[in-house]
Amino acid sequence: MNSKLIPLVGLALLLGASCTNNTENKDNSTSDNDTVVVSTQPDTVIVQETVKEETAPQITSIASKQVDEGTLAVTKAHVVGSILSIDLVIQNPEKKLADINIPGSDIYYIDDATAKKNSILKDDAGKLMLSPVNSFGDRLRVTGDDNPILMNLKFAAPPADSKTISLSIGKYGSFDGMPITR
């Protein structure tokens, strides 16, 4: 082995051992940059840092559709006890102003097995169990340009033998044949 390579290999190992994917900056903040040690000549060591591009988180959905503000996705339709909880997300990659204002009476699901319509549950104060909700508690109300915008709806659960539902959300139409989990 070449004697000049031994110190270089030792230096590269030392530098490589101190490099991580989450490096600390002088102000004690962290970054998601990768540090790479590159040797182009026997007596030269070059340390390069590459900046990772931020990407939007991938959201797993059971149903989705394009809407004015981006993509509306149903991420979960899950029964716990006697309540069906449906989680939705609006991904807004263009960061345009999202303005969702849907009356609670326009949001319901139909049990595909029985063809029964089910409205959003109300709490003890008479406000609809959905979020985000307006100050009167009667409308799904979202404004902003954040990405993603999370929403939740609560309904009475369908019978145990029901496997799918069709969710209707006002002007956005329906998500038909969505599987529910228990």
Based on the fold, state whether residues 113 and 76 are members of the same structural domain.
yes
Domain that holds residue 119: 63-179
- Answer yes or no: is 56 within a domain: no
Cis before 148 (ω within 30)? yes
Based on the fold, state whether residues 148 and 114 are members of the same structural domain.
yes
Based on the fold, state whether residues 23 and 71 are members of the same structural domain.
no
Would you list the DSSP string of 135-173?
TTSSEEEEEE--SSEEEEEEEEPPPTT--EEEEEEGGG-
The mean pLDDT value for 45-57 works out to 60
Based on the fold, state whether residues 159 and 74 are members of the same structural domain.
yes
| DSSP 8-state symbol, 181 | B
Return d(Cα 33, Cα 56) in angstroms, integer: 17
pLDDT band at 14 (very low <50, low <70, confident <90, very high): very low
104: three-class secondary structure by DSSP: helix
Return d(Cα 4, Cα 8) in angstroms, integer: 7
**pLDDT at res. 66:** 84
- Answer yes or no: is 30 within a domain: yes
- Answer yes or no: is 146 within a domain: yes
Q: How many helices (H) and strands (E) does the chain have?
A: 1, 15
Cα 86 vs. chain centroid, distance in angstroms? 14
Per the structure, the count of domains in the chain is 2
Based on the fold, state whether residues 81 and 21 are members of the same structural domain.
no
Based on the fold, state whether residues 24 and 101 are members of the same structural domain.
no
pLDDT at 20 over 60: no
Based on the fold, state whether residues 41 and 71 are members of the same structural domain.
no
**pLDDT at res. 90:** 85
Tens of pLDDT along 63-113? 988 887 678 899 999 999 999 999 999 887 677 777 788 999 999 999 999
The mean pLDDT value for 132-147 works out to 82
Find tokens 């902003």 and name the residue.
144
Based on the fold, state whether residues 165 and 79 are members of the same structural domain.
yes
pTM, two decimals, is 0.66
